[in-house]
Structure formats: C-alpha cells, structure tokens
Amino acid sequence: MDIHEHQAKEILKSFGVPVPRGGLAYSPEQAAYRARELGGNAWVVKAQIHSGGRGEVGGVKVCKSEQEVADFARGLLGRQLVTKQTDANGKGVFRLWVEEASDIAQELYLGFVLDRKTERIMIVASGHGGMEIEDLAEEDPDSLVRSVVDPAVGLALYQARELGFRLGLEPKQVDQFSTFLRACYRAYRDLDAMMVEINPLVITGSGDLVALDAKMSFDSNALYKHPAIASLRDPSQEDPREATAYDNGLAYVGLDGDIGCIINGAGLAMASMDMIQLAGGQPANFLDIGGGASPERVCQAFRTVLSDQNVSVILVNIFAGINRCDWIAKGVIQAYKEVGIDLPVVVRLSGTNVEEGQKIIRESGLPIISADTLEEAAEKAVAARPQSAAA
C-alpha cells in the first residue's frame, strides 16, 4: 500500500527525521492560508499523488506570493497528472502540500528496499539526488552505494557512519546522517514497510540534513498490525477495479487486454496469462481468487472482472486443493443468475471434486465452454472473443 508524501513525512518526523514545515490544502484559498500560516517569502506547492515525476509535468512549483500559491493551486486541483510512473489516465490531484522553501546546498538520494536475493533490507544512497533511482543507475552507476542490514543486529552506528563517509559528507554531517539513517531504518522495520525513499535528501545552506521529499509503501499483508497506517489508504489513487477487489479480499491487478481471468493461485494465474498470450490473446487482469473460495466469493470475482468494460470473454481456471471444484461450479452458476453474464465463459476445472464440478456445469443448461487443459482453455478463450475484440 502506498501513501502520500505528506503522510510519509509525518510518519518519518515521528521517528526523528527532520522535514520542512508544511500544511495540507484542499482548495486554493486553503493553500494561500497555509502559506500565510507558514510565513516567509517563498513556498513550494506540491500535488499529492501516488507517483514520482510530478515536477516534470507541472505538479510542483516554487511560489513567491500568496496569490501565486492560490493561482497555482486553482490550476492544479482536479487535474489528472500523467507522469512516467502512471498509466495514460494519470492520477487525480485532490490535495496539495504547501511547505516552506528550503535553502538547498546539495541534494542526495536515500532509499530503503527489501532485497529479495539476500532476504535483507538494503540501503541504496547516492551523492546525486533529485533523480529517479533508475536514471541514477543508468547515468551514474558509480555514484550508488549500497549496504545490507543484518536483521539480527539492525543498522549499526558504524555502518551508518561508513555510508556517510562513502557519500563524501563532512564529519559533522556524517553524525547527522547516521542519526537520520537509523531513524528511517526504525520506521521501515517497525511499520513493516516495503520501501522508504528520501529523494532528495538535502543539505541546507547551514549544513543540516532535511527530507525534502518522502515516499513510503507498506506490506499489505501486515496492515492488520498497523491500523493507523491502514487508515492512510487513499482509494482515489488506485485503479477503481483494484480498489473494489481489495475491499472484497481479492488479489487483483488490472491489465490492458480483453480476456478476464478468474484463477486460484498466483503461479497458476501467471501461467494462465502466459498461455493466453501464447494463444494470441491478451489478459485483462490478474485475479487470484485464493483458497477456500465459496460460491459467493466466486460470484464477487465475476463482478470484479466484469467491472472492466474491455472484457469480452472470461476464463475460469481452477486447480482445486483447498478449493473444491463443486464450489467453483456453483459460483459460476450463481454469477450467471445474479450478475447477468452475457459474455462467453470458458471453465477449466481440475483437482478436488472435479467430477462433481464438471457435472454441475454440464447440467446447468448454460452456454459455458468447458476445457480439460490449460492450453485448451486458453485457446478456447481466444477463439470465443468477438471479431471486434480479436481485431
């Protein structure tokens, strides 16, 4: 789960990370009031969306007067910002962050991520901030320094200081950097984060370190332990299909194709999508219905898939272990009755109670297309598409 910049800054601030003063605004008048409240003669107004690259598309501006703050806010609120990290629809701007302008002497990059290869938290830092990590890795790979944290020990002081010296910081700054780094690490560890990124981490004219921007994302499977973090979720920044699926406990990712997928198990879902493409089609989604799927859950999966107007055929592929094929079959029949399906549906069942499930499908009298193998199911799904979709 991603959160907004201002939320990430509030969290990091509570762990001792220095951040600029700022305020949230939902209207041009409120933005101008925030500037007046902060004082000074320059403010940075930032669109709050779940994406990087805002500045490149007009989502960030330094303003020199309250009127300029209000005018910029008026033109930004309600816009769909399309960045290199969003799809063609972009992200809606419904809130702004107004913060005091900073005296920037140097920009650094700092990130904490989970390195799955070493099964450790990895710190990635660079003496060049303000760029995306992908651009840094491509344009100046030698500037990146990495350090892996041993979970049994945590981020030791000597390790933090070593990183500071490798970035070329002055001794006074190394002490600040060590404190800064360890605070970020505690936030990552204690809140089950998946990523903490400070870009840029700036050194001010007075030599202090400040988190000028911040991103955090969290392990969705651990949110039950952190209700305060879970409450920060912003559905307006999510794909509406994915938001609906999340609310119903389904693992769903929207894609650009037209063959809707209802599958159990992430591995089988990936294999099914590959087989659809091999057969000449394009999947419309990834949907893992999970184990122990009841007919009601199957019915909800159909509703979720059908919420995508691009879907022209549905492929149900179930290898039942914890699941039962008769449950899935009953769910398909229930979906036909409750949802009003008028698209071709291809069903492939295998595993627990497969004979009973196939019998339910066969005796339903509904125009359901059956398949015995994944390859056959994919080919039948591609063949069942309307000519307009196939073209």
Q: 107: annotated binding-site residue?
A: yes
pLDDT exceeds cutoff 60 at 363: yes
- Is 70 exceeded by the pLDDT of residue 292? no
33 is catalytic: no
Q: Quick check: 235 pLDDT over 90?
A: no
Looking at residue 293, its pLDDT comes to 65
The pLDDT of residue 167 is above 70: yes
User: Over 80: is that where the pLDDT of 241 sits?
Assistant: no
Q: Is 41 marked as a binding-site residue? A: no
pLDDT of residue 346: 94
Query: Residue 59's pLDDT band (boundaries 50, 70, 90)?
Result: very high
Q: What's the domain range around 177? A: 1-20+103-238
Q: What is the mean pLDDT of the chain?
A: 90
Are 15 and 156 within one domain?
yes
Question: Residue 387 has what pLDDT?
Answer: 65
CATH of the domain at 170: 3.30.470.20
User: Tens digit of pLDDT for each residue in 326-345?
Assistant: 888 888 898 888 888 889 99
Q: Has 91 been labeled as part of a binding site?
A: no
Number of domains the chain contains: 3
Q: Which is the catalytic residue, given 5, 185, 188, 197? A: 197
Residues written for the chain: 391
Q: Which of 180-184, 270-274, 386-390 has the lowest mean pLDDT?
A: 386-390
46 labeled binding residue: yes
| Mean predicted confidence (pLDDT) in 136-156 | 85
Contacts of 325 (CB under 8 A, 6+ apart): 318, 349, 350, 351, 352, 353, 354, 356, 357, 358
Q: Are residues 293 and 259 in the same domain?
A: yes
| CATH number of the domain residue 323 falls in | 3.40.50.261
**216 and 304: one domain?**
no
Residues 365 and 384 in one domain: yes
pLDDT in the model for residue 338: 85
pLDDT of residue 65: 96
Last residue of a domain, one of 101, 122, 150: 101
Same domain, residue pair 202 and 250: no
What pLDDT was estimated at residue 389?
Answer: 56
Nearest Cα neighbor of 177 from 157, 194, 196, 195 is 157
Q: Which residue has the higher pLDDT, 188 or 241?
A: 188
3 shares its domain with 146? yes
Q: Look at residue 291 and tell me whether its pLDDT is greater than 70.
A: no
Confidence band for 240, pLDDT divided at 50, 70 and 90: confident
pLDDT of residue 390: 53
pLDDT digits (tens, 9 = 90+) for 81-134: 999 888 888 999 999 999 999 999 999 999 999 998 888 999 999 988 876 677
**What pLDDT, on a 0 to 100 scale, did the predictor assign at position 282?**
94
Question: Is 54 annotated as contributing to ligand binding?
Answer: yes
296-300 contact pairs (CB < 8 A, 24+): 296/331, 296/334, 297/249, 297/250, 297/331, 298/262, 298/327, 298/328, 298/330, 298/331, 298/332, 298/334, 298/335, 299/331, 299/334, 299/335, 299/338, 299/339, 300/248, 300/250
45 pLDDT tier (thresholds 50, 70, 90) = very high
Task: Indicate whether 174 and 212 sit together in one domain.
Answer: yes
Residues 49 and 187 in one domain: no
Highest mean pLDDT among 16-25, 49-58, 87-96, 333-342: 16-25
262 and 385, same domain (yes or no): yes
Q: What is the largest CA-CA distance in the chain?
A: 78
Q: Are residues 149 and 29 in the same domain?
A: no
Told to judge if 197 belongs to the known catalytic residues of this protein, a careful annotator would answer yes
Whether 134 and 95 share a structural domain: no
- The reply, when asked if residue 213 is annotated as ligand binding, is yes
Q: For residue 136, what pLDDT band results from cuts at 50, 70 and 90? A: confident
Of 197, 219, 238, the position where a domain reaches its end is 238
Where among 54, 82, 101 does a domain terminate? 101
pLDDT over 70 at 391, yes or no: no
pTM of the model: 0.79
Say whether 264 counts as a known binding-site residue. Answer: yes
Angstrom distance (rounded) from CA 352 to CA 321:
6
- The Cα–Cα gap between 385 and 253 comes to 21
How much of the chain, in percent, has pLDDT values that exceed 70?
A: 97
The share of the chain scoring above pLDDT 90, in percent, equals 63
pLDDT of res. 238: 82
- C-alpha distances (whole Å) from 128 to each of 8, 179, 204 are 22, 20, 15
The string of pLDDT tens digits covering residues 62-86 is: 999 999 999 999 999 999 999 988 8
